[in-house]
Structure 1
């Protein structure tokens, strides 16, 4: 039967690779070449018949798994080069086997993305309760695990992440000290601490990650901000207090499409009548889709990056008003490129925390994610929301002024 799986995989690659060049070394030592036009170049060695079978039957899942167990290895290139060829071509060709899997995943979204409070905590622990040192080895100093904001190509990752926080703070219109802010999905506390330190806000950060909670609380103590910043292990649905401002950065991807209406109704109920909310999330240009099955299994169970068409309906149903939408197009591709290089530079240290299989898993994740933003349909969006139209000025000038003032504040304090 192996000849049948090989023929099926061969036909898929003939159909898929129209741009660039792709080499396959088969388990029996033979080789096949695909494409041959200008573009990305890469090659793989399939070492076992089982790898051929799995790739033929479920390529979206088996590609990453085969790289993790080393039954697939790159030939004179990296896994990033391999994914570059495949993902660049996937934009133009829809393979039936992948399209069917994606359609099935969309039909199963009510189950796969149910994400009630118990499942949400389990999903968060899967990724965010890993060894804390892991993230310090490839993120910026503030451990911002979300899209940075590059004001120019030569900006460092640390400066781009600081710019992201200030950009979001400007949209929150923190125009007086003492404003109470809810940070939904506060991570390791960087956003909350910045809002308190630079803008005088009083911040409550909530998370479902016990590792992040402990780290965020320790940081608040170390920086002398415990009186102005508090962190709690709370599901967003259990929050019933009202705040002047609400911010959520990189958490909405974990909500799940079936829960969007509940999420935005919660934001509205927690927002004071004259309040402002800012949601920063990964999204997609090409309309509703499905989470890659490998990502869903190994990286972000229950996760999904929505299109704006899936988000704005629940926003409207909640009664909130959308006052500003910004699309960040290639900023996350640049962010992930920084993370990928830093991961590679610290690979030995990371392998000592886990093992080689974990390193290959993370390499596949970082490369695939970067390319999703660089050559595929992923982007980031920021949606500003209010309950009352009068909560914000008529023009966006206040955003630019706030960012300029924040930069001047930083220069004066250095």
Structure 2
């Protein structure tokens, strides 16, 4: 009886629209006025002690293990929870401190491989043909063509650098190589990519040889902190600093400064919380071990302290929301095939991950920002206005 009272307290004010909750004893209640749009079913009781210890971890695992079912739009349900001040996602009585995340070079390698080395074949099933696993850029009315939007994102980043043919570019956390290889083929740059994922490294190597780019492109299976004294004219890093850990953010930007030539330009693209830095226990355990989403003030402080200067910042929150919605649609289209290989629990986990991230961007709980930085006076080698960034 006490635990059901706790559940009612937790759920009754968590959503701005009516929600039906069916409990483990078969009894149901509707919280909110009107016909419920979504139903939450507790097939089993999750101990109150687990929820109060960490709500996101307990409820996330409950969903994975089918102790919880959600009938209706998962993303909408989570957006409601993020936007309701008294919900279990925001109320102070449900917030718990997370253990600090340590990021030695060895730990960073293990963290990256645990996520990206699931296998290239898995990501090929639901990413677009460019194999780009980061926020796309939807322009000119495009809302649904993910491949077009990912290609547009790559050009949007490279155009911001105002790159000059024959110069050099370092891509920190190069993924499957689309950005660096586009820079080599279409912008005439000599490029180097670094990754800690063996699966990504092998595929980028193959793409370099398939496109006969050995003279202008190379990829290293190496920690970005071990690049020595070599310098580049441009640096890009997309979706990378979220993985380095809070304690390593100052060094990350110090290394960007170190690796840039004088008056060099960097475009750093990463998930940022305007409300301040945060971790999430469920995501840390199952999706991104060691992940930390930094706050905007700490990012700006680390940039300034490194010696870099900020030329431009652009938020792409709605673009990432749309990217994730398409990823989830693509994932569910091949879900039976994924389930055969990885099992139902994995599929429920991945579906929740994509929906939770989409909801977090939609609600403004997290953002993604592109930081255009210079080693030297801001914008010294760039055009006077932002118009050049959008010129085709």
Same fold, TM exceeding 0.5?
A: yes
Residues 1:159 and 2:148 are matched in the alignment: yes
- Residue 279 of structure 1 aligns to a residue in which SS? strand
- Mapping of residues 88-103 of structure 1, within 5 Å: 88-95=80-87, 99=92, 102=95
Counting only pairs closer than 5 Å after superposition, residues 320-339 of structure 1 correspond to structure 2 as 320-339=308-327
1:123-162: CA deviation from partner (whole Å, max 9, x where unpaired): 1011001021110011110110000000024451000000
Stretches of structure 1 lacking an aligned partner (at least 5 in a row): 405-414
1:142-193: CA deviation from partner (whole Å, max 9, x where unpaired): 1100000000244510000000000000011112x22111000000111111
**Can you list the C-alpha shifts for 1:304-327, whole angstroms capped at 9, x where unaligned?**
222211101011111111111111
RMSD: 1.9
Matched, 1:257 2:246: yes
Aligned pair partner of 1:283 in 267, 272, 289: 272
The reply to whether residue 399 of structure 1 matches residue 392 of structure 2 is: no
Secondary structure of the 2:292 match is coil
Q: Distance in 2 between matches of 1:399 and 1:261?
A: 28
Deviations 1:35-70 (A, max 9, x none): 1358x8211221123467644653211221111111
Q: Give how far 1:25 is off.
A: 1.3
Contact in 2 for aligned 1:134/1:353 (Cα 8 Å): no
- Residue 369 (str. 1) matches residue 336 (str. 2): no
Secondary structure, aligned partner of 1:73:
strand
Partner SS state of residue 205, structure 1: strand
Q: Distance in 1 between matches of 2:96 and 2:309?
A: 32
Distance 1:36 1:59, change over 3 A: farther
* Pairs aligned (count): 387
Q: Is the 8 A contact 1:8 1:56 kept in 2?
A: no
In 2, the alpha carbon distance for the partners of 1:50 and 1:96 equals: 15
Matched with 1:36 is 33
- 1:271-310 paired onto structure 2 within 5 Å: 271-285=260-274, 287-310=275-298
Change (3 A) 1:141 1:86: closer
Deviations 1:347-401 (A, max 9, x none): 1121122111111110000000111111232221000111122222322233223
Kindly indicate which of the two structures has a greater share of residues assigned to helix.
1
Describe the SS at the equivalent of 1:232.
strand
Equivalent position of 1:8 in the other structure: 6
1:269-298: CA deviations, max 9, x gaps? 10000211110011123x214222111110
Instruction: Give 1:115 shift.
Output: 1.2
- Return the TM-score normalized by structure 1: 0.89
Residues 55 and 88 of structure 2 are in contact (CA less than 8 Å); yes or no, is this contact kept in structure 1?
no
The answer to whether the 8 Å contact 2:174/2:180 transfers is yes
| Contact 2:272-2:295 at 8 Å conserved across structures | yes
Any unmatched runs of 5+ in structure 2?
A: none
**How does 1:344-359 map onto structure 2 within 5 Å?**
344-359=332-347
Does the aligned pair in 1 maintain the 2:10–2:87 contact within 8 Å? yes
